[in-house]
Amino acid sequence: MTPERRGPARLDAGALQRFLEQRRLGALCLADEGGELRALPTWMWATGAEQLALVPARRLEVASSPVCVVADEFESYESIRGAIIQGRLVRPAADHADELRVDVDRCVGFSFAGSLPSPPTPESAGGAVARHEDATGP
């Protein structure tokens, strides 16, 4: 018998909004001037329903670049939850010199809670479970 495989569940709109309202560390993913993909650590938080604020680890010169921002949190693999945001990077007004904005095109929240299959048992593995013995015997 093959264990059932399930993917992460989507966060509902309220949970996603609460997740994004908190300042958190994420990854800003974009192509550099040479076309190479880069992921930079960044602080991020929602500034409205359709915009994120970012403060990347290093200053970027931007010209309305397409980006993806990923943020997650977890204490264990089964408790991972997060968001993947696609949009366009823009520079806000001059009074926010270190801050960038993402005009959000698409945002998906996810949670692994309850989505992992149960570990296999000897019965579900067809009884083929190796018995471990150390040098001193069974």
> Does 25 score more than 60 pLDDT?
yes
pLDDT tens string 33-52 = 788 888 889 999 888 778 88
- Of the CATH numbers 2.30.110.10, 3.40.640.10, 3.90.1150.10, 1.20.1250.20, which one belongs to the domain with range 9-111? 2.30.110.10
Given a cut of 50, whether residue 2 has pLDDT beyond it is no
- The tokens for 89 are 């990077």
Q: Is 10 helix (H, G, I), strand (E, B) or coil?
A: strand
Instruction: Label residue 129 by pLDDT band (50, 70, 90).
Output: very low
**Tell me: the pLDDT tens digits for 37-91?**
888 899 998 887 788 888 888 877 766 688 999 988 888 777 788 889 999 988 7
